Structure 1
Amino acid sequence: MQLTILGSGTNLHPTRAAAGYLVRTDQTLLLDFGPRTLTNLLKTGLNRHRITHILFSHFHADHFSDFITFFFDAVIYMKYGGGWRPDLTLIGPRGSKRLLGTIMATFPSFSAPPFRVFFKEVSDRSFMIGETRIAPRVMTHVPDLHCVGYRVEYRGKTVAYSGDTQYCGNLLRLCDGADVAVLDCSFPANKPGAAHLHAGQCGLAAKEAGIGRLVLSHFYPIAERYDVRAQAGEEFTGPITIGKDLLTIRV
């Protein structure tokens, strides 16, 4: 299994793309698709027209807005002779089909794409994509917004991705025994903010869940001004990685 960080920041971070992660198993999966992550996806050399599954944690702009550009490009690619691409499955929390379907219906070029689009709404029930097991968990982020994290399991290895979340029981269940956990480290422990984890909570979750390697990501600019690795390390004694765009981790 291989994880590539496409974006480790937020909407308008000065040096990082927003949330996006590429996971390769027997499948090629995108977890979130925030602004500027499409540009980084192209830098990996992956053929974007072979992507068949995109998994969204929630629908704040910093987690999905590059999907609009990606989808428009896919439609144009097929309509104007670029070549063939496979069907596309869009996976996300409750409300995904309504929101994404509305976006597609709003733009005439999107309303009848030359490939099939499937929607799958998920909560706490696992499912398979090929030989890869996906175990979503409902996260606690902000009121009145459905959010999920994803646990990706393949051939005895596990990557957990929190999406945006506060500290909660489902976060620990999501990360339980994971080889790698990518957690929302929006803030330093001494300057916590609303609706997100801070570095100390990331370390605590890693310790309580018994993970192998902690990857801190989704940094707000304020997090760059403090030693968030050291803050997480006050709780978690295992390896801690500061996420950065285009970093690839073999699991």
Structure 2
Amino acid sequence: MRLTVLGSGTNVHPRRAAAGYLVETDQPFVIDFGPRTLSNLLKTGLDRHRLTHLLFSHFHADHFSDFITFYFDAVIHAKLVRPRPDLTLIGPRGSRRLFQTIIRTFPSFNDAPFRVRIQEVADETFTVGQTSITARTVRHTPRLHCLGYRLEHKGRSWAYSGDSQYCPALVSLCEGSDLAVLDCSYPANRPGPAHMHAGDCGRVAQESGAARLLLSHFYQVAERYDVKAQAGKHYRGRITKARDLLQIAW
């Protein structure tokens, strides 16, 4: 299993793309597709036209807006260069309405020479190839369904909070994971609404027994503090601060 961080920041960050992750098991998955993550995906060398499954945690712009550019490119490439496999979009409640609206809004999107399947999930486990995927509802903002994900393959596991506050569902999702990637929007001494701070991330990792913690999704205020040390007050395992294009294999 290998993770490549496509984006470790938010919508507008001077040094980081917004949220996005490439996870490679028996096949590649992109989880979230925020602004500027597509450019980083190209830098990985992965053939983007091999991608068949995209997962989305929720639909704030910093987690999905590069999908529009990706999809336009996929349609044009499949029409003019070579066929691509069908595409499955997986996300929380509202995914079908959002993606159908996007596809219908742009005339060139309507006649894609491949099939698009939209799958809404909530609090369930399913398989794609040899990879087990668990989607779990987490607490982010009111009236918006938000998911965390856990991917398991050949005894290895990766858990991702999406955007979340500290909540029991997230602790459960990360339980015993080899790597937990958590929303560290704020430093512990400057907490903000709707997201975790570094101390919260440490608590989730410690309580879940995750083997390793990767802090990500930084607001600019988090860059001014030692968030690793703040998380380390609560978690005794290995802590890494994410950066764009960081790769971790296990």
Q: TM-score, normalised by structure 1?
A: 0.99
In structure 2, the residue matched to 1:250 is 249
- Distance in 1 of aligned mates of 2:23 and 2:141: 26
Structure 1 residues not aligned, in runs of 5+: none
Question: Secondary structure in 1 aligned to 2:124?
Answer: coil
Aligned partner of 1:103 in structure 2 is 102
Q: Give a deviation string over 1:201-230, Cα, whole Å, max 9, x none.
A: 000110000000000000000000000000
Unpaired runs of 5+ in structure 2?
none
Identity of aligned residues (%): 66
Residue in 1 aligned with 2:51?
Answer: 51
2:21 aligned residue:
21
Matches of 1:84 and 1:76 in 2, distance apart? 10
C-alpha RMSD of matched pairs (Å): 0.5
Q: Secondary structure at the match of 2:77?
A: helix
Which amino acid in 2 is paired with 1:44? T
Query: What's 2:84 paired with?
Result: 85
> What is the letter of the counterpart of residue 59 of structure 2?
F
**Secondary structure at the residue paired with 1:72?**
helix
Alignment of 1:22-171 (within 5 A): 22-79=22-79, 81-171=80-170
Q: Which residue of 2 aligns with 1:221?
A: 220
Q: CA deviation at 1:237?
A: 0.9
Q: 1:45: how far off?
A: 0.3
Q: In the aligned structure 1, how far is the partner of 2:104 from the partner of 2:160?
A: 30
Please list every run of at least 4 consecutive aligned residues from structure 1 whose deviation after the TM superposition is greater than 3 angstroms.
none
1:142-176 Cα distance to aligned partner (Å, 9 max, x none): 00101000000000000000000001110001100
What do the CA deviations read for 1:21-59 (whole angstroms, capped 9, x no partner)?
A: 000000110000000000000000000011000000000
Residue identity in the other structure for 1:87? D
* CA distance in 2: counterparts of 1:105 and 1:83, whole angstroms: 23
TM-score by length of 2: 0.99
SS, match of residue 236 in structure 1: coil
Q: Distance in 1 between matches of 2:34 and 2:196?
A: 19
The 2-side partners of 1:126 and 1:104 are apart by 27
